[in-house]
Chains A and B, each alone.
Chain A
């Protein structure tokens, strides 16, 4: 690629206007796209916008457990957690092969976020003691059909999610009544203080009955009554500080996406006992997407135990809540005791839902722990200052380069400056577009990369111009000089840009953290440099070569043959009489 042997590129030679038009159209299109997308500025990284950035490192007993699948599951879970903080736009992504980076924009509680992401997720299976919806007032009985006994297929409602033994075919549950039913003492077998469900105006059809109040559960009851699951901030702290052995209250969503609140018994099975969970499509039955789980031997016993007990209960106490970080992610109903170590959760899941649930279940079994590798908090003021400084530095750098080019190349520098400008516009627009597209965020190293790239871009022009000047020194007039200089300059530019791009690509793939942002910008600008030189600088030069100002070598054009010391065709010039080595450059 590096050494094109073609003497002259015929197309760009004959139709320089076309390339120019092409790149101008590209610029207009990209800029239009930028304005159309509404993202007119590049997204700023944490270090420029202010906020908290947390880097977590995965640790595991066995190295092989740190793989992409597990890391992706962990990212999913982290994402749920930070976005449950009441933080909008927190972003979680993997970085390198063993790091997760959590970026939380300004205005958030960094300490809380750090506590959240730093700890290991806790997944428990808890029996449901009471549940009631807490959607908006306009929730007209979302799931009346859940109670239909003997319904051939599980209904869309969440209580319709059923846990069945994998051996048993998904059969409709026999005894579901409408939800929102008050707590009974069914689970008292294990001496759990039973909270009384206080279904205040449940959307269900069946009127609530008042349960017998249990003084031991007064606190829990109060908590339950006060729990407003529709508030994000409330949800975020609901599960905090609850021991697995205590009953608790929690929030969860039903299949319509409405919030409901739960009273849950003590954890019966820990998520660490889940060996494997995955989403499968039921090809035989009509169950559609479902989630299968395999338990460890200890887990199977516990699970058989709890399902055996739950199956005897009435709705909703025949459900168990799968609680992740204090939130009920699913509450399937149990119809029979499930022994044998594997279970299915079916319902009318979409593929994504099933996969999400499977991922969450897998997290309990995820053999990864995360430790906080680095936390950096940037106050918005400092972020703004850094951005400001970066921009000023860029402006100064650009100005210095422009001045140098003008002084040295005179008229020719107009070409270079125009090219730099095109390059700058393209870089800016593409960065702005890459924000929403691939989550690119402009951070300080990226700004540095862009500033450094000014040099690389300008260098391409210098290579080209020096070639042209060499040709003029050989005594050629401008047009043939440009034509002859281009293939050689092109090869040099390609080779050197390739090396530069190689460096950027390797750095981007291999390294982590800030280095990556830098490598990305450097790579991007290198590619743009090639684009600009090929589609802008060269055609522009070809066109300008026809203009009198340049072609006749006006003394301000930077191409004056006399000034360049070209050999006048007729007159001999005085030869340097000095010996070679006396002068240094």
Chain B
């Protein structure tokens, strides 16, 4: 652990770091590849929509000694067509019968109870009309779109439009990947999955926002110096918040892992499992995208700004002259000046309390 603590310190000082922005094209490439795979999977294989979306009935029985194959026979004879039977928990069963209506479901339930020799009240039944799932899904999409619009507006106000766009791209990226994984692996999509997916919205952005916040702070007075380009500071931001990002992701994933473990291991199929599975996939994608996609994208967009182009020119010119940036560094940071050549990409204004306190309390209006 102490190693990680030191790592945090070294990341903070910029002694070590990974050139996220510089290597962005690798990660863009990887992401595009994953996204294409996801979209392909989605179009070719499609999603395995659960009963809740297709209409039908799911019966769950807690305790029965009847085997799966036997239950399948019972269910098929009761329903008149194919039924899917899964084992749930220790000795529970989950029986899915597609495309039956409410009245038919009653009969099936009664017959099952008789065949399995259990009281009917012990059968948990879920009957869904086909339009209900559509409605849930439609509402979810509607919510998703409204949320995206609102969040882009909010981020554009709180940060700036480039960050809003980058965050949106990261968000779409996360959702595409999650949906793609569902299509490829063939996990069943249930209302629980939708819930999980929608939560990713908030979470994926949460992560991104924290990195952006640091980025915004560090680039406040960027035009007043000539040592670093925007991309370099962006890189520095990511590295500086890396420990926090890792911690956040770990802390977010731990409860979800608990859910997944309990949901999958103890209860078997069910709402808990569905939610936590999509959350798990989505959170992982979210952590990845906020670091590898969102911030480099902002840097890309920013570097197109004339101001930033000019800055880059100035910085490069200065470097070419090999001028010592000593004039900019406060005396209490003696190592900074020597550090410059060794780690040009990762030293940022964080080590410049002087410039930082200058910026504090001042609107960062220039780039908003």
Q: Which of A's residues lie within 8 Å of B, judged by CB?
A: 2-3, 5-7, 47, 55, 57, 96, 99, 111, 114, 118, 371-379, 381-382, 385-386, 389-390, 392-401, 404-405, 407-408, 444-445, 447-449, 451-452, 454-456, 458-459, 462-463, 466, 469-470, 473-475, 488, 491-492, 495-496, 498-500, 502-504, 506-507, 509-515, 518-519, 522, 563-567, 569, 572-573, 575-581, 583-585
Contact = CB atoms under 8 A, between A and B. Distances in A.
A491 B213 contact: yes
B217 interface: yes
19 contacts: A7-B360, A372-B102, A385-B62, A389-B262, A395-B258, A444-B272, A452-B256, A462-B244, A463-B210, A463-B248, A466-B244, A503-B151, A507-B143, A518-B198, A518-B199, A518-B275, A563-B5, A565-B10, A578-B16
Contacts of B62: 379, 381-382, 385
B123 A379 contact: yes
B41 interface: no
Nearest to A50: B124
Interface in B78-114: 89, 102, 105-106
Contacts of B255: 393-394, 396-398, 400-401, 451-452, 454-455
A580 B16 contact: yes
A96 B254 contact: no
A372 B104 CA distance: 13
B252 interface: yes
Contacts of B257: 397, 400
Nearest to B216: A3
A503 B282 CA distance: 15
B91 to A, nearest CB: 12
Interface in B292-334: 332-334
B40 interface: no
A36 to B, nearest CB: 32
Given A386-B272, A583-B16, A376 B262 contact: no
Given A57-B135, A373-B132, A377-B125, 17 more contacts: A5-B363, A374-B52, A379-B122, A381-B122, A386-B272, A389-B272, A405-B251, A448-B272, A495-B209, A499-B209, A500-B202, A500-B203, A515-B136, A573-B335, A576-B16, A580-B344, A583-B17
B354 to A, nearest CB: 12
A499 B126 contact: no
Given A445-B192, A452-B199, A580-B19, A470 B206 contact: no
B168 interface: no
Nearest to A107: B121
Given A374-B132, A452-B256, A514 B271 contact: yes
B64 to A, nearest CB: 12
Interface centre among B2, B252, B360 (most CB of A within 10 A): B252
B350 interface: yes
Given A2-B158, A499-B205, A404 B254 contact: yes
A379 B140 CA distance: 28
B179 interface: no
A445 to B, nearest CB: 6
A57 B338 CA distance: 71
A5 B361 contact: yes
Contact of B194 (A96, A470, A474, A515): A515
Interface in B1-43: 1-2, 4-13, 15-19
Contacts of A393: 255, 258-259, 261-263, 272, 276
B266 interface: yes
Nearest to B6: A565
Nearest to B350: A470
Contacts of A491: 213
Contacts of B198: 503, 507, 511, 515, 518-519
Interface of A is mostly: helix
B45 interface: no
B36 to A, nearest CB: 26
A47 B270 CA distance: 11
A454 B240 CA distance: 24
Contacts of B345: 580
Given A376-B125, A451-B258, A585-B17, A506 B12 contact: no
A510 B143 contact: yes
B172 interface: no
A518 B195 contact: yes
A462 B199 contact: no
B360 A580 contact: no
Q: Which 7 A-B pairs have the closest CB atoms?
A: A565-B9, A397-B255, A455-B252, A503-B202, A397-B258, A396-B258, A576-B15
B44 interface: no
A467 B194 CA distance: 35
B185 interface: no
A13 B191 CA distance: 46
A506 B146 contact: yes
Given A382-B124, A495-B213, A373 B129 contact: yes
Contacts of B350: 470
Nearest to B19: A581
Nearest to A447: B272
B19 to A, nearest CB: 5
B186 interface: no
Contacts of B237: none
Contacts of A399: 258
B221 to A, nearest CB: 15
A146 B10 CA distance: 93
Nearest to B212: A495
A496 B244 contact: no
A563 B266 contact: no
Nearest to B128: A374
Nearest to A584: B18
Nearest to A98: B135
Contacts of A522: 199, 202
A242 B214 CA distance: 72
Nearest to A444: B271
B24 to A, nearest CB: 14
A396 B128 CA distance: 33
Given A393-B258, A404-B250, A580 B272 contact: no
B355 interface: no
A377 B126 contact: yes
Contacts of A47: 271
A475 B13 CA distance: 12
A253 B140 CA distance: 45
B16 A585 contact: yes
B67 interface: no
Contacts of A455: 203, 248, 251-256
A378 to B, nearest CB: 5
B15 A504 contact: no
A504 B270 CA distance: 22
Nearest to A564: B9
A102 to B, nearest CB: 14
A447 to B, nearest CB: 8
Given A381-B122, A448-B276, A462-B251, A55 B353 contact: no
B131 interface: yes
B189 interface: no
Contact of A371 (B129, B202, B205): B129
A459 B252 contact: yes
Contacts of A510: 139, 142-143, 146
Contacts of B16: 576, 578, 580, 583, 585
A513 B132 CA distance: 10
Nearest to B201: A503
Contact of A111 (B106, B334, B362): B106
Contacts of B105: 375
A492 B199 contact: no
Contact of B247 (A376, A396, A466, A575): A466
A579 B342 contact: yes
- Could you say which of A373, A491, A578 has the most chain B C-beta atoms within 10 Å of its C-beta? A373
Contacts of A447: 272
B250 A492 contact: no
Given A382-B60, A393-B262, A452-B256, A469 B8 contact: yes
